[in-house]
């Protein structure tokens, strides 16, 4: 498997990007100021992570997605480990991510990787998305902000 950083979006990225963040306008709003981390096996795109600098000390994971056929095989962990490594190397002190209050699988994934919930962003999805998002049978309204220190 090959894992590498890039800044250019490719047509093949869109299905993965929209799987994790279903509103194209929202995705487009952060792609221009973000880096993409891809993982491939025999030239087949298996997963993407989008990382954006928030300020001089903090980066934010904007999007993580793995193709269905490669889920539960450690691809997301590999992407996250590389994002953590590079962020530390570039002297960032903290990494954060937002996820829905009903996004149980991502919430557990991030907590297993050392992230902690630090706040609830009330009405985040209703204010930032035009189309209502329904997850696990619940209309998504609020987001959870999770953070992890990059300082050992």
Return the closest-CA partner of residue 124 out of 105, 103, 102, 98.
98
pLDDT per position as a tens digit, 91-120: 999 999 999 999 999 999 999 999 999 999
Name the pairing type of β-strands 2-6 and 34-41: antiparallel
Using 50, 70 and 90 to split pLDDT, how confident is the model at 76? very high
Taking the whole predicted model, whether its pTM rises above 0.85 is answered as: yes
**pLDDT recorded at residue 44:** 94
Q: Which long-range contacts (CB under 8 A, 24 or more apart) does 118-122 make?
A: 118/145, 118/146, 118/147, 119/144, 119/145, 120/144, 120/145, 121/145
CATH class of the domain defined by 2-149 = alpha beta
**pLDDT recorded at residue 136:** 87
């Amino acid at each position: 498997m090959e894992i590498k950083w890039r800044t250019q979006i490719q047509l093949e990225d869109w299905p993965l990007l929209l799987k994790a963040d279903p509103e194209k306008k929202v995705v487009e709003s952060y792609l221009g100021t973000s880096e993409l981390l891809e993982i491939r096996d025999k030239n087949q795109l298996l997963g993407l992570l989008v990382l954006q600098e928030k300020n001089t000390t903090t980066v934010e994971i904007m999007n993580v997605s793995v193709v269905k056929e490669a889920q539960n095989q450690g691809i997301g962990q590999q992407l996250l480990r590389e994002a953590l490594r590079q962020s530390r190397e570039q002297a960032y002190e903290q990494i954060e991510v937002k996820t829905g209050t009903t996004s149980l699988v991502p919430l557990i994934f991030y907590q297993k990787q050392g992230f902690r919930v630090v706040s609830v962003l009330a009405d985040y999805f209703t204010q930032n998305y035009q189309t209502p998002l329904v997850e696990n049978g619940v209309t998504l309204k609020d987001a959870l902000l999770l953070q992890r220190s990059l300082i050992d």
